[in-house]
Amino acid sequence: MSDFLSKWKSGLEKTRKVAFGTLAGVFGASEISSDTWDDLESILIQADIGLATTESILKNTKATVKAEGITKSAELHAVLKADLKSRLMVPPAFVYQHTPPTIILVVGVNGSGKTTSIAKLGYHFQQEHKKVLFGAADTYRAAAVEQLKHWGEKLNIPVISGQSGGDPGAVVYDTVESAVAKHVDLALIDTAGRLHTRFNLMEELRKVYRVAGKPLEGSPHHIWLVLDATTGQNAIQQARAFKEAVNISGIILTKLDSSSKGGMVFSIQEELGVPIYFVGLGEKMDDMQIFNPDLFIDGLFSNT
Ligand SMILES: Nc1nc2c(ncn2[C@@H]2O[C@H](COP(=O)(O)OP(=O)(O)O)[C@@H](O)[C@H]2O)c(=O)[nH]1
Ligand SMILES: [Mg+2]
């Protein structure tokens, strides 16, 4: 197996075990009965697919089964796989600004994996021979700035930071200005994920967004929301709130390798209509992979 395939298979191992792997029991040799549909429904819900999406999957699958005259539950496997695949968006190819730099603001709640994802993304873009800059605008936590500096040193990527407890807007401004002056291809900016109230957090994000456009018109060019896959449907609620505040252009889904149930991937696409650009399949630098629906579905089902 290629490195690439084995990364998806091993990364999704836990997810497969806790959720989708149990489908094997449903896809037995028996005839399809109302029990088959009930079992399928409960497994999909347990896999964090969410009620609305589960209902829609069942409806489509039942229609296909009827149209194709399928009677054996074993044949449901392929029908379900095809339906799930059709729900996932292949992420659009990443487009760099014609005139560099490309500025990416990375947002999300504390602990979702923003800072480590920025490090992994920095590594990813370095592999594409791009010159990268980091901005440490999560000024509320000294540890967050230190964490990004640590990654910057390891990867040999410069980090723009300000004073601890200082104005995040000032760091964003300095990062964008410096990205232009240093002629980097791309800047990734870390942001705070927690303020006293959600309203404050969203206001802060709007402000940071406006400030990013001052030194460079059109910036930020992307706003990526980091979601922790292990938080399941809660992540969808978070995504809605962030989407109201700023124009989220892509999702980074972390911790798919932890005991996430994986099903929220389908709700993200269905309810938010925002592409998943990257997924975190482990803790290593090269464990951040461009989201690939085929590999994802195959990884979820590989033992069934
Ligand atoms: N297993 C796993 N752990 C991750 C992944 N992404 C982030 N983490 C861990 O999640 C924790 C929080 O990450 P951090 O980047 O500090 O989150 P932040 O508060 O949003 O900046 C850290 O312990 C990371 O190592 C992932 O894709 N897989
Ligand atoms: Mg952080």
Looking at residue 103, its amino acid is I
pLDDT score at 287: 94
Looking only at Cα atoms, what is the longest distance across the chain? 67
Element (H, E) at 228: strand 222-228
Q: For the segment 122-172, what is each residue's pLDDT rounded down to a tens digit?
A: 999 999 999 999 999 998 888 889 999 999 999 999 999 998 788 999 999
Residues of the chain with pLDDT under 70: 1-2, 29, 195-196, 303-304
Residue 100: how many other CB atoms lie within 10 Å: 16
pLDDT score at 261: 79
For ligand 1, atom 2: residue with the closest CA? 255
- State the pTM of this model: 0.93
Looking at residue 280, its amino acid is G
pLDDT score at 304: 46
**Ligand 1 probe mutation, 109, 265, 283, 290, most atoms within 8 A of CB:** 283
pLDDT score at 303: 59
pLDDT score at 264: 86
pLDDT score at 22: 80
What ligand has the least distance to the C-alpha of 108?
A: 1
Q: Is 103 helix (H, G, I), strand (E, B) or coil?
A: strand
User: Could you tell me which residues come within 8 angstroms of residue 140 by beta carbon, excluding any fewer than 6 positions away?
Assistant: 165, 168, 192, 194, 195
Q: Which two tokens stand for residue 181?
A: 């002056």
Centre of ligand 1 to C-alpha 296, Å, is: 20
Centre of ligand 2 to C-alpha 223, Å, is: 16
pLDDT score at 195: 62
pLDDT score at 122: 98
Residue 234, burial from CB neighbour count under 10 angstroms (0-12, 13-18, 19+): middle
What ligand has the least distance to the C-alpha of 112?
A: 1
Centre of ligand 2 to C-alpha 262, Å, is: 23
Q: Which residue in 182, 191, 192, 168 sits closest to 132, CA to CA?
A: 182
pLDDT score at 280: 96
